[in-house]
């Protein structure tokens, strides 16, 4: 069969319908808030409205019930949530937090926000999560925490990470932005560490446009995150808070409309995740056996919710580069492909060590360890995947039924057989 790039008919004749989990329940919930006129009830002062309005508080209670945690704290974005999470810990300027380079930039900049230093640890080649086997070589006397990113839809190796954290007295933050309702045994990813949480950005499994949810079983951490979320410096006195470190607050508050939508979205989460899993299982079944494709690996005892369907190209047996394969797949009508992902340590901020001002602060400060390297080569697995081998398909961008999976399999089959 002639490839579309060579003049043949494309395997996917029409673009797929965009994924949209918003329905009439969300429309009614948002309309109810609009008619009520109470779009936000937060006040940056100590009192009943410090915790927000009725929808925000109802959404937080619903998240606590769903994820079986003691505390849920909503924020206006997951980036804000990460900033609040890092600040809630026992961190001082110059302290170090270990983090994957294979993630969205906010995972690292939330660390820098508190004048702490991100130290990048390479990833596992099959799950793309931070590699526990490589962590201890990066631990220094200044290391305070590990930020574990549950990338693409499944949990990092929490058992191994927790053993290391316990040994060295470290906290763990689970950045579970892309893996809501993924399971680790019988518990949800993001709930097994000191702090976890989820993104409500528009292209996630469920969304409120923008937003985030922090979860923890530690009451002190919950209070500190609530304070950072809502003008801590103005609240600590009247509230009687004696611990003042990192009590530099913000307006990270979620609105009532978004919270009302979130309540409805949370009810749908199991079904929406199940639909992604069915689609991914069908796609893997159709692609399995094609030359040059390594299918997603799911950690034993865990589930994957497939924010991205991750593939590794076995280029050594193919007669094409990744760029050529992608070009051919796009010609067949495949949208939503991801060539590589990201290597945070190679971003200009880290290569030049320039963040606050132009003099290299905080890396140049007296309180910072001076031998931290962001040189190319420190994360070889992540670097190779980004530059050569990784090919992702953004599952959460499209409605994927049987017909769409059949077309995707047809497109990949045409291209991979042609380059094998």
- Give a yes or no: residue 376 inside a domain: no
- Does 187 share its domain with 84? yes
Instruction: Say whether pLDDT at 62 is over 90.
Output: yes
CATH number at residue 290: 3.90.1150.10
Q: What is the overall mean pLDDT for the chain?
A: 97
* Overall average pLDDT of the 2-11 stretch: 96
- Does 205 share its domain with 328? no
- Give a yes or no: residue 369 inside a domain: no
Report the DSSP beta bridge partners of residue 240: none
Over residues 166-216, the pLDDT tens digits come to 999 999 999 999 999 999 999 999 999 999 999 999 999 999 999 999 999
Instruction: Say whether pLDDT at 226 is over 90.
Output: yes
Instruction: Say whether pLDDT at 404 is over 90.
Output: yes
Over residues 306-323, the pLDDT tens digits come to 999 999 999 999 999 999
- Does 301 share its domain with 227? no
Q: What residues make up the domain containing 233?
A: 24-265
Over residues 108-151, the pLDDT tens digits come to 999 999 999 999 999 999 999 999 999 999 999 999 999 999 99
The pLDDT of residue 210: 97
Instruction: Say whether pLDDT at 409 is over 90.
Output: yes
- Give a yes or no: residue 354 inside a domain: no
Of 276, 234, 269, the closest CA to residue 59 belongs to 269
Of 177, 178, 179, the closest CA to residue 189 belongs to 179
- Give a yes or no: residue 356 inside a domain: no
Question: Between helices 256-287 and 402-419, what is the axis angle to 10°?
Answer: 50
Our count of domains for the chain comes to: 2
- Does 255 share its domain with 329? no
* Overall average pLDDT of the 395-414 stretch: 97
- Give a yes or no: residue 325 inside a domain: yes
Cα–chain-centroid distance for residue 92?
25
Instruction: Say whether pLDDT at 1 is over 90.
Output: no
The pLDDT of residue 221: 98
List for the chain the helix, strand, coil content (%; round to 5).
Answer: 40, 15, 45
- Does 401 share its domain with 281? yes
- Does 215 share its domain with 203? yes
* Overall average pLDDT of the 336-342 stretch: 95
- Does 29 share its domain with 12? no
């Amino acid at each position: 069969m002639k490839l579309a790039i060579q003049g043949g008919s494309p395997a996917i004749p029409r673009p797929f319908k965009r994924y949209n989990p918003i329905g009439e329940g969300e429309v009614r919930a948002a309309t109810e808030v609009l008619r009520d006129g109470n779009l936000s009830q937060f006040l940056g002062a100590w009192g009943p409205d410090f915790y927000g309005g009725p929808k925000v508080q109802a959404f937080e209670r619903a998240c606590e019930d769903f994820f079986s945690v003691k505390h849920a704290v909503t924020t206006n974005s997951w980036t804000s949530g990460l900033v609040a999470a890092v600040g809630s810990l026992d961190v001082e300027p110059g302290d170090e937090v270990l983090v994957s380079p294979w993630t969205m930039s906010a995972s690292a900049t939330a660390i820098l926000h508190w004048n702490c230093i991100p130290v990048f640890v390479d990833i596992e080649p099959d799950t793309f999560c931070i590699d526990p086997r490589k962590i201890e070589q990066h631990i220094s006397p200044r290391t305070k925490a590990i930020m574990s990113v549950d990338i693409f839809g499944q949990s990092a190796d929490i058992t191994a990470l927790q053993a290391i954290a316990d040994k060295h007295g470290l906290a763990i933050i689970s950045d579970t932005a892309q893996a809501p309702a993924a399971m680790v045994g019988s518990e949800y990813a993001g709930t097994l560490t000191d702090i976890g949480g989820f993104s409500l950005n528009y292209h996630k499994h469920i969304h409120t446009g923008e937003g985030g949810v922090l979860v923890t079983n530690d009451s002190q951490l919950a209070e500190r995150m609530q304070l950072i979320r809502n003008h801590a410096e103005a609240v600590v006195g009247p509230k009687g808070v004696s611990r003042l470190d990192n009590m530099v607050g913000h307006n990270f508050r979620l609105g009532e409309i978004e919270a009302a939508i979130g309540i409805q979205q949370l009810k749908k989460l199991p079904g929406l995740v199940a639909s992604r899993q069915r689609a991914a299982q069908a796609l893997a079944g159709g692609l399995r056996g094609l030359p040059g494709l390594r299918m997603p690996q799911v950690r034993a005892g865990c589930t994957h919710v497939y924010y991205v369907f991750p593939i590794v190209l076995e280029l050594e047996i193919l007669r094409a580069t990744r760029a050529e394969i992608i070009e051919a797949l796009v010609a067949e009508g495949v949208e939503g492909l991801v060539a590589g992902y990201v290597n945070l340590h190679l971003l200009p901020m880290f290569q030049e060590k320039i963040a606050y001002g132009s003099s290299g602060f905080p890396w140049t400060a007296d309180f910072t360890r001076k031998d931290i390297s962001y040189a190319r080569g420190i994360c070889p697995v992540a670097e190779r995947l980004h530059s050569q081998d990784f090919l992702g398909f953004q599952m959460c961008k499209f409605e994927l039924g049987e017909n769409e999976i059949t077309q995707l399999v047809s497109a990949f089959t045409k291209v991979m057989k042609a380059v094998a």
